[in-house]
Structure 1
Amino acid sequence: MKSVTVEDLVKRFSLEVLAGASQLHRTISKTRVHRPGLEFVGYFDFFSQSHLQVLGSKEITYLHTLTEEERNDRIGNIVKYHPPCFVVTRNQKGLKYLMKYCEEEGIPLLRTPQATNKFIELVDAFLTKSMAQEIAVHGVCVNVSGIGILLRGKSGVGKSETAHTLIRRGHRLVADDIVVLKKISPETLLGTHNGKTKEFLALRSIGLINVSRLYGRKAFQDETRIVLDIELTKWQDNALNNELELLPKFSDYMDIKIPHIEIQLQPGRDVAGLVEAAANNWYLRQQGYSAAEDFMKRLQEE
């Protein structure tokens, strides 16, 4: 099971450390943050003790209304479960009692100026991506008109060259050679780079190019949701049919099924244009439109 250290969180969101600075090595193993509420009145049946704990204005204001004895009792009941850390939002003040308990129990107490809901949204996304199940595949990942595509095929088949043509047409590179796939949810597959190859595209006979330097920042993006798996293969005579609608095929990545299309290569064939057509056709299908159904309807009307 993947985890994120409190120190990772501090660096990622520039958090202020108020207490427990020696315990930043502690790990967060759950992907969603938790806001203690019922726990302050003694109900712990569903307390998410492995989650990051966020204290917003509502929680801190409530604690401020309590007597010192009540406050110590409420906080003491929570810290004894040793959650990974507490984060106080909106730069709230008057936290000496929290700092005292966190220091005693070795729990990092952090603070951010961000609004509670915004901070939770950002942290949830960060934790989900950081702890997601992932695999690395050989291929190229591109974003074509907002649609994430994984280009696969044998070495030398023309994946990077196709990506280069797409970039020149205004689309974006995500990763070349090594594509990291992350399972963000049971239905969502995210494609990204491994860090080392960020912005780089390797072209045979040319060498390595930096697409952001060569074509501008819009030529690259860090990640994209993968919705199409396109395999580039060598041309085989009589292997392609001109059917109105091909039977759907799928590729399986970590139990997520992605529509699969095979594009055969031949000199003079506009492969990049076919990738664009596949992306746009996928989008139309999501809107409920099928060209084949539309065509058959016209024939029936005749």
Structure 2
Amino acid sequence: MRGSVEEIDMHSGKGSGKMKTITVEQLQQKLKLEVLAGEDQLQRLITHPKAHRPGLEFVGYFDFFPMNRVQVLGRKEITYLHKQSEEERNLHIGNVVKYHPPCFIVTAKQEGLKYLMIYCQQEGIPLLRTEDTTSEFLGKLDAYLVQALAPQIAVHGVCMNISGIGVLLRGKSGIGKSETAHTLIRRGHRLVADDIVVLKKLGPHTLLGTHNETTREFLALRSIGLINVVRLYGRKAFQDETRIVLDILLSSWQDQALNNELELEPSSTEYLGVQIPHIEIQLQPGRDVAGMIEAAANSWYLKQQGYSAAEEFLKRIEEEMK
């Protein structure tokens, strides 16, 4: 059985998973970049999760120029421009700048950029600079852009990290998701999000679970109210994000509905096109739900290592019969 997913309206539309946008200013503040030109153009939008180094474009080849990407100028590009005559340099820069990319970022705190500053100021394109080397900065930039611009949706539920394994807990309101999360936190596991879980698609098979900032560190418990898990239990009780690898639906107890097969048929839930293994746990007074969630997470991990308890059990039976 696979539970239905209740999605929440977000800025990108209900469950649409559309690509987000960020401003150059958000990028500048996040990566602590120095603004050299275009201070009044920092609200320009960035829409593509990959950066580009304009090498071929400086020599006049524009057939595949990704003009909508952040343009990064490393030592190779800047050294090439420095060695050109003023006329050649103006021609090469002008050919790139006229396509109006979101911004230019110079790495390794390179100097002598007055000519580039003039062009960017005239065309209204932000020119930024970092102290990081090109390779270091590209790693940071691509990682940030992929996550910041990832398609995303929000679902009702609780997100936990169980011994390094990301688990999404779902179920009807009042079923006991937050109370179960609290028990798991007391057992040493970490809360990621309560009530509203933001899911981001980072790749064809990678789904990231996080909070929506407003609910960060908060857990809502009926009869108690809001608690801050970090204030109550310390930093070890919370983490900002986790890769979701298991979807668990908490449901009401139904007599004769549970089965005792040695190994259940695989089931999954789809989020943004990513298939996540799914199981259902029925609740009943006295049932150790937190313990079952721990068992489910650990069982998933063992399966990734190639181990199956059912296969081992059947093998033992076969050996005894022989």
Give me the TM-score of the superposition, normalised by structure 2. 0.91
Give the Å deviation of 1:174.
Answer: 0.5
Give the Å deviation of 1:70.
Answer: 2.0
The answer for the alignment partner of 1:164 in structure 2 is 182
The answer for the alignment partner of 1:60 in structure 2 is 78
Find the partner of 1:70 among 81, 88, 99.
Answer: 88
The equivalences for 1:211-226 within 5 A come to 211-226=229-244
Give the Å deviation of 1:186.
Answer: 2.1
Find the partner of 1:247 among 261, 265, 273.
Answer: 265
Give the Å deviation of 1:83.
Answer: 0.7
CA distance in 2, matches of 1:205, 1:119: 48
The answer for the alignment partner of 2:12 in structure 1 is none
CA distance in 1, matches of 2:214, 2:79: 46
Give the Å deviation of 1:301.
Answer: 2.8
Corresponding letter in the other structure for 2:163? S
The answer for the alignment partner of 1:131 in structure 2 is 149
Q: Percent identity?
A: 72
Corresponding letter in the other structure for 1:147? I
Q: Deviations over 1:194-243 (max 9, x none)?
A: 11110000111211110011111111111111111001111112211111
Find the partner of 2:58 among 15, 32, 40.
Answer: 40
CA distance in 1, matches of 2:90, 2:74: 18
CA distance in 1, matches of 2:259, 2:20: 46
Between 1:45-54 and 1:176-185, the stretch displaced more is 176-185
Corresponding letter in the other structure for 1:44? F
CA distance in 2, matches of 1:291, 1:43: 59
The equivalences for 1:90-105 within 5 A come to 90-105=108-123
Give the Å deviation of 1:298.
Answer: 2.3
CA distance in 2, matches of 1:284, 1:242: 20
The answer for the alignment partner of 1:193 in structure 2 is 211
| Unaligned ranges ≥5, structure 2 | 1-18
The answer for the alignment partner of 1:277 in structure 2 is 295
Find the partner of 2:255 among 223, 237, 247.
Answer: 237
The equivalences for 1:172-211 within 5 A come to 172-211=190-229
Find the partner of 2:31 among 1, 4, 13.
Answer: 13
The answer for the alignment partner of 2:126 in structure 1 is 108
Give the Å deviation of 1:64.
Answer: 1.8
3-state SS of the aligned residue for 1:99? helix
Cα RMSD (Å): 1.2
How many matched pairs? Answer: 302
3-state SS of the aligned residue for 2:93? helix
CA distance in 2, matches of 1:227, 1:170: 19
3-state SS of the aligned residue for 2:318? helix
3-state SS of the aligned residue for 1:161? helix
3-state SS of the aligned residue for 2:154? strand
3-state SS of the aligned residue for 1:294? helix
CA distance in 1, matches of 2:52, 2:313: 52
3-state SS of the aligned residue for 2:257? coil
Give me the TM-score of the superposition, normalised by structure 1. 0.97
Q: Deviations over 1:221-270 (max 9, x none)?
A: 11111111001111112211111100011111122111111011112211
3-state SS of the aligned residue for 1:262? strand
CA distance in 2, matches of 1:65, 1:170: 59
The answer for the alignment partner of 1:117 in structure 2 is 135
| Unaligned ranges ≥5, structure 1 | none
3-state SS of the aligned residue for 1:226? strand
The answer for the alignment partner of 1:28 in structure 2 is 46
CA distance in 1, matches of 2:300, 2:81: 52
3-state SS of the aligned residue for 2:118? helix
3-state SS of the aligned residue for 2:161? strand
